[in-house]
Amino acid sequence: MFKVGGMQNSADIVIIGGGCIGVSVAYHLARRKAGRVLLLEKAEFLGAESTGKCAGGIRAQFSTEINTRLSLYSIDRFERWQDEIGHPFQYRQWGYCFLLTSDELVANFRKSHAMWTRLGMNVEWLAPPQVEQRLPYVNMEGVQGATFHSRDGFGDPNDITQGYAKRAQELGAVIETGVTVTGIELEGGRKVTAVQTSRGRVATGSVVLCTGAWTRKLGGMCGVDVPIDPIRRQIIVTDKFDDIADPFPMTVDLSTTLYFHRESGGILIGMSDHTESAGFDDSFNEDFGEKMLLTAMQRAPVLENAAPKHKWAGLYEVTPDHHPVIDRLGHVQGAYVCAGFSGHGLMHAPAAGALTSELVLDGKAGSIDIRALELSRFSDPARLHDEANVI
Ligand SMILES: Cc1cc2nc3c(=O)[nH]c(=O)nc-3n(C[C@H](O)[C@H](O)[C@H](O)COP(=O)(O)OP(=O)(O)OC[C@H]3O[C@@H](n4cnc5c(N)ncnc54)[C@H](O)[C@@H]3O)c2cc1C
């Protein structure tokens, strides 16, 4: 093996993208002794894009069975993180509470609740007086009830990224940052032979696209369309704020998509702007920031006393049905994609890595049936999913 510009010039498997998904894939491949695993990240540090800008929410309360299964698998693994990974992970299982403010939401959540119970989850259904008692900071206007799952919560995205990356390196994977993949070479237009990078060519028979919001561009290098669009999402974190007593759950109002939870002594507030169109602009939109704060103060009036301290925007990596793609890259032999988690990638990182390593090494994912996540579903509207709990 030769080194080009300080970097090795061949690998058995090249993972493109060093967010939480790429490092999880690297770790899972390395622990299966998959050969020479090389991860390439264009930014100067890991987790610089969506992963580093995310809210850290980890929950199993989804409306589709496949999303719920990805979460349950991942929560199991997060709960055993210290034993498995051996690096620190700040993880608070303080629960998620979904406030239900319309007949339609109540009906949808009743359906989901039956599915969650079938999958072994213990989700509490709270009547309004119980919501009032458990979440005294909530303005109860319109609240018809709520669901609460105690195994949900939130964790530090940096701990997850660094933990997987360090463990992958301990197991022999090589991680290079500051390296942009500029092309993927194919033999006869169908078989991966190398990747071209800003630091030279790396010969390889396998690539895994873990490129989040940029995956459409990378898929295009192989002539395959992967319909993942970048959509801006914003976060505001307040200064130290004690008027809501710990521990309190991630509180979600689906009617507005407002959510908030404890963050570094303050409160992290998020909300989706449904007028956003696809694009890579991740500057903070002040007007929408105002709207987020007003909405937060309406639902939790005590937040009037909280002072905004930090604010930022980042990109969701959104597919047409808000579910990821974990699959081969169309007709291209040796190419795989694990991307498009549509705003839920951090919480699904353990499952994503495990399933992708199975797909690459065994030819088929065994831990969970992931036929629902095939790329080909986008050409058949009947196979698209309908995830109702998107925030
Ligand atoms: C505001 C906000 C809040 C969120 N909240 C949550 C939450 O509470 N819970 C949750 O689970 N998820 C949340 N998410 C979503 C979560 O952040 C993403 O789903 C997850 O980070 C996706 O990980 P990834 O590794 O696929 O993408 P990324 O972290 O974006 O990583 C992809 C990497 O690929 C690299 N790359 C791209 N092109 C190339 C190239 N040509 N060569 C080399 N490298 C390349 C990029 O630089 C990038 O680092 C949130 C996202 C945002 C923006």
- Mean pLDDT computed over 265-291: 97
Residue minimizing CA distance to atom 33 of ligand 1: 17
Query: Which single residue is written with the structure tokens 């909300």?
Result: 271
Provide the whole-model pTM: 0.97
In the chain, the percentage of residues whose pLDDT exceeds 70 is 99
The atom of ligand 1 lying closest to the CA of 234 is 1
CB 355 within 8 A of CB 361: no
Query: Which single residue is written with the structure tokens 């700040």?
Result: 90
Distance CA 313, CA 157 (A): 15
Residue minimizing CA distance to atom 4 of ligand 1: 54
Q: What is the Å distance from ligand 1's center to 324 Cα?
A: 12
Fold of 93-153+229-318: D-Amino Acid Oxidase; Chain A, domain 2 (3.30.9)
Please tell me the predicted confidence (pLDDT) of residue 382: 87
Fold of 3-53+158-228+321-383: FAD/NAD(P)-binding domain (3.50.50)
Please tell me the predicted confidence (pLDDT) of residue 4: 52
Instruction: Say if residue 190's pLDDT is above 70.
Output: yes
218-240 residue pLDDT tens: 999 999 999 999 999 999 999 99
Residue minimizing CA distance to atom 27 of ligand 1: 212
**Residue 180, ligand 1, Cβ within 6 A:** yes
Closest CA to 13 of 43, 40, 46, 45: 40
The larger pLDDT score, comparing residue 388 to residue 49, is at 49
- Angle subtended by helix axes 349-362 and 157-170, to nearest 10: 30
Which residue type occupies 39?
L
**Residue 41, ligand 1, Cβ within 6 A:** yes
The larger pLDDT score, comparing residue 387 to residue 65, is at 65
**Residue 198, ligand 1, Cβ within 6 A:** no
Report angle CA 236, 24, 225 to the nearest 5 degrees.
85
Please tell me the predicted confidence (pLDDT) of residue 303: 97
pLDDT band at 390 (very low <50, low <70, confident <90, very high): confident
Q: Report helix, strand or coil for 73.
A: helix
Instruction: Say if residue 26's pLDDT is above 80.
Output: yes
In the chain, which segments carry CATH 3.50.50.60? 3-53+158-228+321-383
Instruction: Say if residue 85's pLDDT is above 80.
Output: yes
**Residue 316, ligand 1, Cβ within 6 A:** yes
Measured over the CA atoms of residue 267, residue 49, residue 375 and residue 350, the dihedral's sign is negative
